[in-house]
Amino acid sequence: MAAARQGGSSITRALRVVEAVAVAGDGVTAKAIARRLGCPLPTVYRALGTLVEEGYLVRLHDAHGYGLGYRVAELHRSLTEQVRPEPALRTTLREVHTAAAAAAYLAVFRDVDVVVAHVDDCADHPRPDALRVGEPTPAHATAAGKVMLAGLRPARLSELLERTGLRVGEDFFLCFSPERIDPGNPKYHTTNIPKVVGGITPACTRMGSLFYSQALEKVVPVSSTSVAEMVKLLENTFRMINIGLVNELAMMCDRMGINVWEVIDAAATKPFGYMPFYPGPGLGGHCIPIDPFYLSWKTRQAGIEARFIELAGYINGQMPHFVVDKVQAALNEASKPLRGSHVHVLGVAYKRDIDDVRESPALDIILLLEQKGAHITYSDPYVAKLGLDHHALTSTDSLSMAGKADCVVVVTDHSDFDYPGILQRAKLIVDARNAFKNHKSDKIVRL
């Protein structure tokens, strides 16, 4: 905490991020905050991570699932008293603090996107015989008050609770269990996805396993909270790096005139030593684009450079630009400039058949197209309205717009789209998801 109060450089950078969130107000994305500060998006998350390291809980989350309209809730007065933020941030914090005092914490957590809370708050009212499980989700608690799910470091919380005289593994049981969800997956859901849990002590692990086994089909105990946390980071980093590999392969194949989708499908016939990953317009969601950079930041503190993560992050970050270049080249082949052309985007959610646009590559693609002078419309059966940096768009009918647009871009391949009907009406299609895999037409430009 001394570094925070002395205004150390890392804390100063982190607070600049928080101030940017407050000043920007509603209708902005984390990427817009990065642009406001003139720094890469990973830097924003690393700066927020600095606050976590210094004893503050920082969570980026949109309760409505859109990743837009970031706001700040500050639940500990010492931040404003010791750091003395800018007036705009002070006003925001004062308003939210007043609201927090008048309402239950749960209501506050559900209605904010960024929470900055001093972890001492979690130890203000310790209870013996309590099980506390940290999950990488917004903080919430059961009505009975016996279980609290809070996104902060287990070791730090254990230290704070033990200052009250309670003993970990005897008076309270502290665990960490990483979130495992696959939105939109009809086969795997919370009940049948194995649940990893690790405790501060073996007794904590046993208690956490017993708790989860009451509702879940399989619990996987591990030896510590650190192992449990690294499991989550490995899972997301594994996927992020392999997606980066196939995205780079897609750019290679594009230059060489090879169908990357055919290459991957043929490679997937190998019954051992290979797992198919597929290219796309970029990463999205609240885990895969973000979590690996936490690991990279943490390993850098240990003197290790996470080169795979940084390289994959760079390649994945280039994919929206690659898609826009494909659109521009396709329009040029049709003797049309991108400036002034009507480009219709199919799908803005980050993933098929869900309504979540957090970190969706569609946001970058739309922004880049608008910067180049294109007129943008979109269709998404799950996202009726889309808030951008300075304006908002409303979803339109995909079939009617396909016939009006100069180019249709498939960013998210929702199952609800009538692809044969779109193909029939569209003049030109840039397919970033292989949605038209079973269709052959000179209109289609594949990734």
Q: Name, in order, each residue with C-beta under 8 angstroms of 357's C-beta and a sequence gap of 6 or more.
A: 65, 66, 67, 68, 284, 348, 349, 350, 363, 383, 386
Pair of tokens at residue 230 = 């690294």
Pick from 95, 118, 141: which residue ends a domain? Answer: 118
Looking at the structure, tell me whether residues 241 and 299 fall in a common domain.
Answer: yes
Whole-model pTM: value is: 0.71
In a domain, 230, yes or no: no
Looking at the structure, tell me whether residues 100 and 69 fall in a common domain.
Answer: yes
119-145 residues labelled b (16+ CB within 10 A) or e (exposed):
beebbeebeeebbbbbbbbbbebeeee
In this structure, the number of other CB atoms found within 10 A of the CB of residue 318 comes to: 16
Looking at the structure, tell me whether residues 171 and 287 fall in a common domain.
Answer: no
203-235 residues labelled b (16+ CB within 10 A) or e (exposed):
ebbbbbbebbeeebeebebbebbeebbbbbbeb
In this structure, the number of other CB atoms found within 10 A of the CB of residue 334 comes to: 12
Looking at the structure, tell me whether residues 252 and 152 fall in a common domain.
Answer: no
In a domain, 231, yes or no: no
Looking at the structure, tell me whether residues 391 and 295 fall in a common domain.
Answer: yes
- Work out how many domains the chain is built from and give that number: 3
Looking at the structure, tell me whether residues 144 and 66 fall in a common domain.
Answer: no
In a domain, 232, yes or no: no
d(CA 353, CA 402): 20
d(CA 407, CA 410): 10
Please report, for the domain that includes residue 146, its CATH number. Answer: 3.40.50.720
User: Could you list the residue range(s) of the whole structural domain that residue 402 is in?
Assistant: 237-446
Spell out the per-residue pLDDT of the chain, length 447, in tens: 233 333 445 555 555 655 555 554 433 455 666 666 666 666 666 665 555 555 444 444 333 332 222 333 333 333 344 444 445 444 444 444 444 343 334 444 444 444 444 444 444 445 555 555 555 433 322 222 223 333 456 776 777 777 778 888 888 788 888 888 888 888 998 889 999 999 999 999 998 898 888 888 999 999 999 999 999 999 999 999 999 999 999 999 999 999 999 999 999 999 999 999 999 999 988 788 888 887 888 888 888 888 999 999 999 999 999 999 999 999 999 999 999 999 999 999 999 999 989 889 999 999 999 999 999 999 999 999 998 877 899 999 999 999 999 999 999 999 999 999 999 999 999 999 999 999 999 999 999
What pLDDT is attached to residue 71? 37
In a domain, 192, yes or no: yes
In a domain, 140, yes or no: yes
Pick from 56, 87, 118: which residue ends a domain? Answer: 118
Looking at the structure, tell me whether residues 252 and 401 fall in a common domain.
Answer: yes
d(CA 260, CA 412): 18
Q: How many CA atoms lie within 13 A of 56 on its CB side?
A: 30
In a domain, 54, yes or no: yes
What pLDDT is attached to residue 436? 97
What pLDDT is attached to residue 185? 84
Residue matched to tokens 């399989």: 218
Pair of tokens at residue 66 = 């859109």
Angle between helices 225-256 and 260-267 (to 10 degrees): 130
Query: What is the chain's alpha carbon radius of gyration, rounded to the nearest angstrom?
Result: 24
In a domain, 325, yes or no: yes
Looking at the structure, tell me whether residues 263 and 197 fall in a common domain.
Answer: no
What pLDDT is attached to residue 157? 73
d(CA 233, CA 298): 11
Looking at the structure, tell me whether residues 244 and 287 fall in a common domain.
Answer: yes
Pair of tokens at residue 344 = 């219709």
Pair of tokens at residue 306 = 């996470």
Looking at the structure, tell me whether residues 413 and 270 fall in a common domain.
Answer: yes
Residue matched to tokens 């803005």: 348
Sign of the dihedral through C-alpha 278, 279, 284, 290: positive
Looking at the structure, tell me whether residues 420 and 281 fall in a common domain.
Answer: yes
Edge-to-edge strands, sheet with 444-446: 375-379, 342-346, 407-410, 429-431, 444-446
Which residues are identified as catalytic?
Answer: 287
d(CA 317, CA 31): 12
